[in-house]
Structure 1
Amino acid sequence: MNITPELPDIDALLDSLPRGDDAAEAAARARQGQLVKPTGSLGRLEDIAVHLARWQGAERPRLETVTITVFAGSHGITKHGVSAFPDEVNAQMLGGFHAGFAAVCQLAEAFGAELKAIDCGVAHPTDDFTVGPAMDAAAFAEAVGKGRASVRGDEDLLIFGEMGIGNTTAAAAVAAAICGGDPAGWVGQGTGVDEDGLARKADVVRRGLMANPASSGNPVEVLRCLGGREMAAILGACLEARKKSIPVLIDGFIATASVAPLGRQGLAHCLSGHASQEHGHRKLLDFLGLDPILDLGMRLGEGSGAATALGIVRAAVACHNGMATFEEAAVAGKNG
């Protein structure tokens, strides 16, 4: 699969990436069996803690440095009326992330995460993908590189959010191209469009698929042709996290579509933060084998769903690290 210089052959790249620490996972699993509770009684919390242990390479995972990075971009397809909001919102919300008034800002503060917002070309919309690729190879490589550069390497957990009017349509197009199916089955309300808006979105997705036949069967090319700069940056950041063995908590529909080209193998270091209310998200999660932590009917984007799930992840780590073992607490264990 030949792609940009930023991303060599994807299959070869994935084969060369870390696969997690088997010994750390086994030690964490053993610790769960020794804690003062019936085996498996903390349910999904136990699996979350063990997942972090595997990818951090430590029996007791840490969450001292958690970073939420919001990538912002603009989309040429908005001229087709696929959103209830104008493109000006992109720059306004980018400023809002820096000013601290957006929802994800409050969630980052509430759950102890650093928040970064990165402009991926808000003033330079992607091309209209109903007539050709959204990005040329250079623009795509630049966006992927921006995402990879955003990962320092000292993070214990990463969350990637996005802002880009029109990007639920782009995500639907990417999902339809990778997973197949009727475009109308992938589009949702996004920013709150009516039935006519849904029809326009489905038509734009259908036209985008027809205008970019060369991307068929090549998931990374699908993202270049039908995605956005902020989506390409999320792909790059997720890959860099894998390279550095940093676990990732994936946000909603757009973020999931952004990393979908990596497939199940490439997303082994990831957990799904939540199931978005956006129509196609649950189908895409099922395709990728991801089980969301939360399902709260959210569809804001910004990384807000995954940021909310961070509270659950912190609960998992607190129990895993802070509970006593039966031996430490001098509590009688299970007989037999």
Structure 2
Amino acid sequence: MSALNLDDFVDLIERPDGGIRRDAEERRARLAPPADALGRLDELGEWLAAAQQRVPVRPVERPRVVLFAGDHGIADLGVSARPAGSAHRLVRAVLDGESPVAILARRFGVPVRVIDMALDCDPAELPEEVTRHRVRRGSGRLDIEDALTHEEAERAFRTGMAIADEEADAGTDLLVLGDLSVGGTTAAATLIAALCGTDASVVTGRGGAGIDDLTWMRKCAAIRDGLRRARPVLGDQLQLLATVGGADLTAITGFLLQSAVRRTPVILDGVVSAAGALVAQRVAFRAPDWWLAGQSSGEPAQEKALDRIALTPLLDHGVTVGEGTGALLALPLVQAAAALAAELPEREEAGAEEPGETEPGETEPGED
């Protein structure tokens, strides 16, 4: 296996086709609804056309939800409302169709794929197609030790790339990204604070499960300690992920970059996917042009990351559950934009004649 060189992504990732986007804008100017009448739906339709390199845009018909799962050792400090090592319960709820994202996906007719990167459970408890990519059992405690070894980080990153390739090869036309983790928001906030040069208190939120004030203080302290370990390795993105990220976040970063290489659009969910996106932006500055921010989760770290990436969330409904739910809620909006851009008729030009019409006083050919 060749060595992983993240600098290759700079050359491999191209922006969505600007010329196609201009063609889509020109076509939109000819459609029946007045300019700006469809608001952000117009922008989404034009973005999809550029991504697909096609005018009119194709409807989004083969989306898929992809959830990367893992436990984080930092959860042992009591930084989450959920017990440490319990992310496998979140996975089981998805597989059993009982979680919010599973219920919505069933309603929308969207398949869900779960990838175990570092769950702290016996692999036999879950299906083999879920656990076959596992890098380790739980990521290390980021405040006092590396979350991953360098070899584990490279393996997790390559797994994310491989999942992106599999989805592109299967014809998936839009990816909905999420995570199933315990302690993941602490790791994500640490990455975002490090990359944005921000103090721990600025990025420490309440998490999708909600935490009390004492738990918030423990979480803030853990992020502060993680930052001390993250800052010396800021120039090496893979080492940064190994130091304070974890297997799921590392896989998400590889997944996002390779999805951009394969020209597959992605909807981001909450703070964990935003953290992976921020690291990926540091690797390849054109990559964010292939992503949408599905929703605002209310996490201050997510807001920091999206501001740095220059992505504006499509929705802001106060949904904090995570697990890909907010990103999936945004999917119908993107599908609506594609359908309108594809199917709306062009308006008739003022004064255009119907076939067979003649002006007053004129005669049809052959008449005297």
Q: Same fold (TM over 0.5)?
A: yes
* C-alpha distance in 1 between matches for 2:334 and 2:108: 10
* C-alpha distance in 2 between matches for 1:230 and 1:202: 21
* C-alpha distance in 2 between matches for 1:22 and 1:332: 33
Does residue 128 of the first structure (1) align with residue 112 of the second (2)?
A: no
Which runs of structure 2 are paired with 1:56-205 in the superposition (5 Å)? 56-59=52-55, 60-123=57-120, 124-151=137-164, 152=166, 153=168, 154-190=171-207, 191-205=209-223
- Aligned counterpart, 1:236: 254
Letter in 2 for 1:284: A
Q: CA deviation at 1:176?
A: 0.6
Gaps of 5+ in 1: none
Deviation per residue, 1:189-214 (Å, 9 max, x gap):
11211111111111111111213443
- The TM-score with structure 1 as length reference comes to 0.92
Deviation per residue, 1:90-113 (Å, 9 max, x gap):
111112212211111122223332
Letter in 2 for 1:145: R
- Aligned counterpart, 1:50: 46
CA contact (8 A) 1:97 1:105 kept: yes
- Aligned counterpart, 1:260: 278
Q: CA RMSD in A?
A: 1.9
SS across alignment from 1:70: strand
Q: Call closer, same or farther: CA 1:203–1:40 in 2, change over 3 Å.
A: same
CA contact (8 A) 2:71 2:85 kept: no
Gaps of 5+ in 2: 121-136, 353-368
Q: CA deviation at 1:226?
A: 1.0
CA contact (8 A) 2:161 2:257 kept: yes
SS across alignment from 1:160: strand
CA contact (8 A) 1:6 1:141 kept: no
CA contact (8 A) 2:85 2:119 kept: no
Letter in 1 for 2:162: A
Larger deviation, residues 207-216 vs 309-318: 207-216
Letter in 2 for 1:137: H
Q: CA deviation at 1:46?
A: 0.5
Q: Call closer, same or farther: CA 1:276–1:252 in 2, change over 3 Å.
A: same
Does residue 292 of the first structure (1) align with residue 288 of the second (2)?
A: no
* C-alpha distance in 1 between matches for 2:350 and 2:322: 45
Q: Call closer, same or farther: CA 1:7–1:110 in 2, change over 3 Å.
A: farther
CA contact (8 A) 1:132 1:208 kept: no
Runs of 4+ in 1 over 4 A off after TM superposition: 4-7, 330-333
Does residue 218 of the first structure (1) align with residue 239 of the second (2)?
A: no
How many residue pairs get matched? 327
Q: CA deviation at 1:87?
A: 2.9
Residue in structure 1 matching 2:342, options 306, 310, 321: 321
Q: Call closer, same or farther: CA 1:281–1:272 in 2, change over 3 Å.
A: same
Residue in structure 2 matching 1:22, options 18, 21, 27: 18
CA contact (8 A) 1:134 1:224 kept: yes
Letter in 1 for 2:34: P
- Aligned counterpart, 1:41: 37
Deviation per residue, 1:85-140 (Å, 9 max, x gap):
11343111112212211111122223332211111120311111111321111111
* C-alpha distance in 1 between matches for 2:107 and 2:226: 40
- The TM-score with structure 2 as length reference comes to 0.84
* C-alpha distance in 2 between matches for 1:104 and 1:139: 29
SS across alignment from 1:118: strand
CA contact (8 A) 2:140 2:246 kept: no
Deviation per residue, 1:238-262 (Å, 9 max, x gap):
1121111111111111110012112
* C-alpha distance in 2 between matches for 1:332 and 1:149: 56
Q: CA deviation at 1:174?
A: 0.4
Letter in 2 for 1:71: F
Q: Call closer, same or farther: CA 1:332–1:192 in 2, change over 3 Å.
A: farther
Deviation per residue, 1:270-309 (Å, 9 max, x gap):
1111111122221221111111101111221111111000
* C-alpha distance in 2 between matches for 1:70 and 1:283: 22
* C-alpha distance in 2 between matches for 1:81 and 1:192: 13
Percent of counterpart pairs with the same letter?
31
SS across alignment from 1:73: strand
Q: Call closer, same or farther: CA 1:309–1:39 in 2, change over 3 Å.
A: same
Letter in 2 for 1:299: T
SS across alignment from 2:295: coil
Q: CA deviation at 1:332?
A: 7.1
